[in-house]
């Protein structure tokens, strides 16, 4: 069967760019662009509506490009992380059992990466980390980490996992 893609963003300008790209790639017929804050997605779609969610949340962009002066304040980083946790919550709610959530940012702050993932794993025991390809690659080839919603509730303690990288 064929799938479909839903692009969700609170910025109409960014969605217009996504629509242009979809048109250029010839996939506009299978794509729906919705201007909505993703924290409100469960008001539009019922829980368990999606097989996969790619969450690319707004972030402090501390890893986006080399900078001589950092402009993000610690307060802004914390505010981004709090918003990202709300986005993860909505994304987890949208996933079908067995679904995959890929969380990807362009920052290097632990508050917006490792701490958000740690919060998700603690708050949603039905989620677990899956190994990424990064264990065979050098650190400069790091890829986003994926979380998977388990099909059934966990009956035994989660084993400690190694070789997971977040960026």
CB 63 within 8 A of CB 107: yes
CB 101 within 8 A of CB 150: no
Assess whether 106 carries a catalytic annotation.
yes
Select which of 35, 78, 106, 128 is catalytic: 106
How many Å apart are CA 61 and CA 88, to the nearest integer? Answer: 18
Residues tagged active-site: 106
């Amino acid at each position: 069967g064929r799938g479909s893609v839903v692009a969700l963003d609170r910025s109409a300008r960014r969605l217009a760019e996504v629509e242009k790209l979809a048109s250029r790639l010839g996939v506009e017929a299978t794509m729906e662009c919705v201007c909505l804050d993703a924290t409100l997605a469960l008001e539009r779609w019922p829980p368990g509506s999606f097989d996969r969610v790619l969450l690319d949340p707004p972030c402090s962009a501390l890893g986006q490009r080399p900078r001589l002066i950092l402009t993000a304040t610690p307060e802004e980083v914390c505010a981004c992380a709090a918003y990202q946790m709300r986005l993860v919550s909505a994304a987890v709610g949208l996933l079908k059992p067995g679904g995959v959530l890929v969380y990807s940012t362009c920052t290097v702050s632990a508050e917006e990466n490792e701490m958000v993932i740690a919060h998700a794993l603690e708050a949603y025991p039905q989620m677990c980390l899956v190994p990424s390809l990064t264990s065979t690659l050098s650190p400069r080839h790091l890829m986003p980490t994926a979380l998977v919603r388990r099909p059934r509730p966990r009956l035994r303690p989660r084993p400690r996992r190694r070789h997971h990288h977040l960026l």
